[in-house]
Amino acid sequence: MKHIGGKSNRLSGLVPVMLDISNGSRQARAQQRLTRARAVAAASVETAGGDDGFPQQAFPAGGKQRMNNLRGGFRLRQRPFSETAFSFATAYPFLAGANLGHKGAYIGEDVYGGGAFVFDPWELYEAKVITGMSMILMGAVGSGKSTCAKSVVCRLVMLGRKALILADRKGEWDVVAQFLGGHTIKVGPGQPDRVNPLDEGIRPSVTPDGEPMTDLRWAAMVRARRLNLLQTIGEILLDRAVQGAEHTALSMALDLTVESAAPGVPTLPGFIEHLRQMSVSTDGSRSVAEAAERLLHAFSRCTQGDLKGMFDGETTANFDPELPIITVNTKALVGASKEARKIAYACTGSWAESMVTNSDSGQRLCVYEEGWDSVSDEASLTRMMEAWKLARDYNIFNVLIIHKLGDLDIAGDAGSKMAAMARSLLGDTTVKVIYRQETANLAVTERELGLTRAEREDVNRSAQGTGLWKVGPYRTVSVKNQRTTAEVPVFDTDGKMRSNRGGEAAA
């Protein structure tokens, strides 16, 4: 052994120095240095003592070489393959699709992307993500669709929008209206609120053409709306279309009622009285008198029959368009006749139409709770179709809530006019939210909405509160709806079930 360089080495007595100082090749000298370094590292384990008397273990800087410790460089060898970026967006775990932006109301968590899901239809329309202003929200009982609807409405109202909830058969939106500082109108037998079909509605400041609204123009619009509503009510009560001289009798009785009530508000009792006078008059046409008599017998149900007290006086309900939210509670109509339900829907729908067509009303959500009930009535369905077609002009966003797509078939038999009208709503809807569906309904949902196999499986296994959002033609997001502590009791639809089960939450 030989000491080189004059420096002491406490391992020199243990490690043989095998340096060849001859003129060896550079590679040979490098190999000799490596051999000595390894010998020194191995010897240091035995010679370095610790405070406790045991040798201190020393490893190379990269760690000790052993199997499966990932020390050193290595390469993964994988057969190369190619795939489209569209497939990689879902197949590759470190990529996620683009969200809908940050403008709008927070709805919940993007299940696969991990970020916040934010929604505002007016912002999405401005950004050209959607081309229409309507949404269908569907899901099985207990899937969480009602909570989703209330989340969307409440949070958008808090951002300055307004809301109108039509035909709330369960009365579950009453507490939501109270929470947001709105008002609930309760319609039905024995209810304190009365709706006058002959109310003139809400006068806008400008015409649909943008010109100032004059008294003459407003009077013409009010007369047309009243005639249309009276004709609808007449057809409901007669169970057929208004025909021939009956149109003449309707318009004549209306004009006489408005004239005699001025400057007050015309009501149905006054209209019925003028029909009675026309039916016994000998001054006019015999056919008009006979038509007035037929209408008299039909409309008398509103003041003497099962409809008494609902539509036979001035309006007592508070239809204030400036309120943040108005809900129409029709729970009392559940046990009423079908004519009562249809007339109530026609009257509240006509008033709602005067509100949403008013350019001064602002941006408003129109929610059709229990949509299967709305599409079963021709007058309501016709009004809905108009709202779907003209939503952008009216500056409204429609929301139809159903359990399954089969609910639209309630509108009428296959091939009928009503069935075609209901299906047209689906075709004009650009936002579709699908919560868990029963197995029997999955195939129809997949076919009608054009779901992919992965989307169908996602809907099939969705947990409660999680839904698949299809926004526009290209965006699909699975969203877990989140509720705040303050919203939980407001959105709760299982309170009665829990009270009956001693506090246990309903499934």
71 vs 468: which has the higher pLDDT: 468
| pLDDT digit string, tens, across residues 127-149 | 999 999 999 999 999 899 999 99
Q: Do domains 102-195+321-507 and 197-314 have the same CATH topology?
A: no
Pairing relationship of beta strands 183-186 and 162-168 according to DSSP bridges:
unpaired
Q: What are phi and psi of 185, to 5 degrees?
A: -105, 120
Tokens 């191995």, residue located = 42
Decide if pLDDT at 414 tops 90.
no
| pLDDT digit string, tens, across residues 272-317 | 999 999 998 878 789 999 999 999 999 998 888 788 888 888 988 8
Please report the pLDDT score of residue 396 as a whole number: 94
Alpha-carbon gap, residue 500 to 364, rounded angstroms? 37
Kindly list the distances between the CA atom of residue 164 and the CA atoms of 161, 208, 226, 332, 374, in Å, as whole numbers in the listed order.
10, 21, 22, 19, 15
Least confident range of 50-59, 303-312, 318-327: 50-59
Confidence of residue 23 (pLDDT cuts 50, 70, 90): low
User: Mean pLDDT over residues 162-175, rounded?
Assistant: 92
Please report the pLDDT score of residue 90 as a whole number: 65
Confidence of residue 1 (pLDDT cuts 50, 70, 90): very low
Confidence of residue 501 (pLDDT cuts 50, 70, 90): very low
Alpha-carbon gap, residue 133 to 128, rounded angstroms? 11
Closest to 384 (Cα-Cα) out of 11, 134, 189, 138:
134
User: Mean pLDDT over residues 461-483, rounded?
Assistant: 93
Q: Is 102-195+321-507 in CATH node 3.30.830.10? A: no
Alpha-carbon gap, residue 417 to 241, rounded angstroms? 15
Alpha-carbon gap, residue 406 to 441, rounded angstroms? 8
Decide if pLDDT at 123 tops 70.
yes
Please report the pLDDT score of residue 416 as a whole number: 84
Decide if pLDDT at 45 tops 60.
no
User: Mean pLDDT over residues 346-353, rounded?
Assistant: 86
| pLDDT digit string, tens, across residues 418-433 | 888 888 898 899 999 9
Please report the pLDDT score of residue 145 as a whole number: 93
Tokens 């509503």, residue located = 229
Please report the pLDDT score of residue 492 as a whole number: 82
Confidence of residue 42 (pLDDT cuts 50, 70, 90): low
Confidence of residue 328 (pLDDT cuts 50, 70, 90): very high
Q: pTM of the prediction?
A: 0.76
Please report the pLDDT score of residue 304 as a whole number: 84
Q: Residue 6 region, left (φ>0) first, then alpha (ψ -120 to 50), else beta? A: left
Alpha-carbon gap, residue 106 to 104, rounded angstroms? 7
Per DSSP, the three-state class of 106 is strand
Decide if pLDDT at 11 tops 50.
no
Alpha-carbon gap, residue 407 to 73, rounded angstroms? 62
Alpha-carbon gap, residue 252 to 235, rounded angstroms? 17
Confidence of residue 500 (pLDDT cuts 50, 70, 90): very low
| pLDDT digit string, tens, across residues 169-210 | 889 999 999 999 999 999 888 888 888 999 988 888 888 888
Please report the pLDDT score of residue 408 as a whole number: 86
Decide if pLDDT at 63 tops 70.
no
Alpha helices (H) along 163-267: 174-180, 215-238, 245-261
Alpha-carbon gap, residue 360 to 204, rounded angstroms? 6
Q: How far apart are the first and last CA of the chain?
A: 85
Decide if pLDDT at 51 tops 70.
no
Alpha-carbon gap, residue 439 to 436, rounded angstroms? 9
Please report the pLDDT score of residue 67 as a whole number: 61
Please report the pLDDT score of residue 41 as a whole number: 65
Alpha-carbon gap, residue 22 to 99, rounded angstroms? 71
Percent of the chain exceeding pLDDT 70 equals: 82
Token readout for 429 is 């809807």
Please report the pLDDT score of residue 89 as a whole number: 64
Mean pLDDT in the chain?
83
- Residue 168 carries which side chain, given as an amino acid letter? D
278-305 residues labelled b (16+ CB within 10 A) or e (exposed)? bbeeeeeeeebbebbbbbbebbbbbbee
Please report the pLDDT score of residue 497 as a whole number: 44
User: Mean pLDDT over residues 51-55, rounded?
Assistant: 56
431-434, strands of its sheet edge to edge: 116-119, 105-110, 475-481, 466-471, 431-434, 134-138, 396-402, 364-368, 162-168, 325-329, 183-186
Per DSSP, the three-state class of 460 is helix
Token readout for 187 is 């319609």
Q: Where are the domains of the chain?
A: 1-61, 102-195+321-507, 197-314
For the domain made up of 197-314, give the CATH fold: Helicase, Ruva Protein; domain 3 (1.10.8)
